[in-house]
């Protein structure tokens, strides 16, 4: 795949593959300012929890460079960091990445701006690198859960495009394939932004992995007809009790999987687990512009003056999740206890 998140140390710009136009066009969006970064996050030039985190870390470097031209760069920078962190509310990786950059600044609080920039550039690259490594580890652990010949349903895009590379849910599929298993994928189309139809299908087809796209509302029928062996999805935020926010529609897929005795796995790096969010009810759910639902492109689908719901995420209760695949292994129920245990060792 083309490089989809590229930062130039020379020009201090972030070049993003513009996911709004895939799969028809491979266009790039160049971020030179904090406004550009926030726009790229909000209109979903770049999307997917880990990819948002990596972009935000590079965004912090752009913000720092911008703050240098103001009377008090420290005050300006603090505001700009908050501006980036608030670009989207649900995916915790965004706040997680900004928190990590802030921590480094706090640990070196007397540092000159140019030295902080050097530290941050290194840190942002590290976040990017670690994400790929973590995805590969998840691919290994998750790949072991899938059997040769299985068809995996996934919802949204939790692939290379949604991360620094390789993917979380799609990383698990890649991991199984690297373990010489023959795996087929069903990508739910994922209304309204069509991450499944446009992005998951795009990257799997490019990599020669067999993929079919199904309407979101075909899920029950496909499972009833035994055309799905397991579900693997990504996550935007996992609460301390294992409740998991992911793209709208995921909760329904999990309920239907339970009804049909089909395992339902979540694949996410530990940076997506937020132990400060106690349960699913505490996860903020983003609502997005109604035009994403009422239109396809510029073409209106529904009558004028009719309201729409556009919740971007829903929360799957932990009890419906067979396992959470992380870079540290597979977490199982009781999630509350096992997540607490994982984070105890991380400190």
Enumerate binding residues for ligand MRU (CB under 6 A): 47-50, 91, 156, 158, 162-163, 168, 195, 234-236, 246-247, 312
Q: Sign of dihedral through CA atoms 141, 147, 149, 155?
A: negative
Shortest distance in whole angstroms from residue 47 CB to ligand MRU: 3
Instruction: Consult the annotation and say whether 49 binds a ligand.
Output: yes
Instruction: Consult the annotation and say whether 47 binds a ligand.
Output: yes
Shortest distance in whole angstroms from residue 168 CB to ligand MRU: 4
Instruction: Consult the annotation and say whether 48 binds a ligand.
Output: yes
Q: Sign of dihedral through CA atoms 82, 87, 89, 95?
A: negative
Element containing residue 257 per DSSP (H, E):
helix 250-259
Q: Which of 36, 236, 243, 314 is catalytic?
A: 236
Residues facing residue 214 across a β-bridge = 188
Assess contact for 30 and 55: CB atoms under 8 A. Answer: no
Q: What whole-number distance in Å separates Cα of residue 183 and Cα of residue 178?
A: 10
Whether 236 is a known active-site residue: answer: yes
HSE of 16 in the Cβ direction (CA atoms, 13 Å)?
A: 32
Instruction: Consult the annotation and say whether 125 binds a ligand.
Output: no
Shortest distance in whole angstroms from residue 31 CB to ligand MRU: 17
Question: DSSP state, 311?
Answer: B
Smaller CB distance to ligand MRU: residue 149 or 284?
284
Q: Under DSSP, is residue 287 helix (H, G, I), strand (E, B) or coil?
A: strand
Smaller CB distance to ligand MRU: residue 100 or 155?
155
Smaller CB distance to ligand MRU: residue 4 or 47?
47
Shortest distance in whole angstroms from residue 244 CB to ligand MRU: 10
Instruction: Consult the annotation and say whether 128 binds a ligand.
Output: no
Q: What whole-number distance in Å separates Cα of residue 37 and Cα of residue 46?
A: 9
Element containing residue 122 per DSSP (H, E):
helix 113-143
Assess contact for 178 and 143: CB atoms under 8 A. Answer: yes
Smaller CB distance to ligand MRU: residue 116 or 170?
170
Assess contact for 151 and 184: CB atoms under 8 A. Answer: yes
Shortest distance in whole angstroms from residue 169 CB to ligand MRU: 7
Instruction: Consult the annotation and say whether 174 binds a ligand.
Output: no
Report residue 230 as tokens.
């397991």
HSE of 320 in the Cβ direction (CA atoms, 13 Å)?
A: 22
Smaller CB distance to ligand MRU: residue 91 or 239?
91
Q: Using CB atoms, what's the residue nearest to ligand MRU?
A: 234
**Residues comprising the binding site for substrate?**
47-49, 88, 195, 246-247
Q: What are the residue numbers of the active site?
A: 236
**Residues comprising the binding site?**
47-49, 88, 195, 246-247
């Amino acid at each position: 795949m083309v490089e989809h998140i590229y930062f130039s140390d020379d020009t201090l710009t972030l070049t993003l593959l513009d996911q709004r136009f895939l799969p028809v066009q491979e266009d790039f969006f160049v971020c030179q300012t904090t406004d550009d970064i926030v726009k790229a996050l909000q209109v979903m030039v770049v999307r997917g929890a880990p990819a948002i985190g990596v972009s935000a870390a590079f965004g912090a470097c752009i913000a720092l460079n911008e703050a240098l031209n103001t009377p008090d760069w420290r005050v300006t920078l603090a505001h700009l960091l908050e501006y980036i962190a608030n670009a989207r509310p649900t995916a915790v990786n965004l706040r997680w990445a900004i928190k990590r950059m802030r921590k480094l600044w706090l640990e070196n609080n007397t540092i000159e701006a140019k030295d902080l920039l050097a530290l941050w550039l290194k840190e942002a690259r590290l976040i990017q690198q670690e994400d790929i490594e973590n995805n590969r580890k998840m691919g290994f652990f998750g790949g072991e859960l899938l059997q040769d010949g299985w068809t995996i349903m996934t919802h949204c895009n939790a692939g290379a495009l949604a991360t620094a590379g390789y993917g979380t849910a799609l990383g698990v599929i890649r991991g199984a394939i690297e373990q010489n298993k023959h795996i087929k994928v069903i990508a739910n189309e994922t209304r309204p932004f069509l991450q499944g139809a446009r992005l998951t299908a795009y990257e799997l087809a490019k990599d020669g992995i067999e993929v079919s796209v199904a309407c979101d509302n075909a899920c029950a029928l496909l499972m009833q007809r035994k055309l799905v062996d397991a579900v693997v999805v990504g996550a935007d935020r996992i609460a301390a009790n294992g409740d998991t926010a992911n793209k709208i529609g995921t909760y329904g897929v999990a309920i239907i999987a339970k009804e049909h005795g089909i395992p339902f796995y979540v694949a996410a790096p530990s940076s997506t687990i937020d132990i400060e969010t106690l349960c699913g009810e505490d996860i903020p759910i983003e609502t997005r512009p109604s035009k994403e639902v009422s239109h396809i492109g510029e073409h209106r689908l529904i009558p004028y003056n009719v309201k729409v719901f556009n919740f971007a995420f829903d929360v799957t209760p932990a009890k419906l999740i067979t396992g959470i695949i992380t870079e540290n292994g597979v977490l199982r129920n009781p999630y509350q206890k096992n997540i607490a245990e994982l984070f105890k060792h991380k400190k």
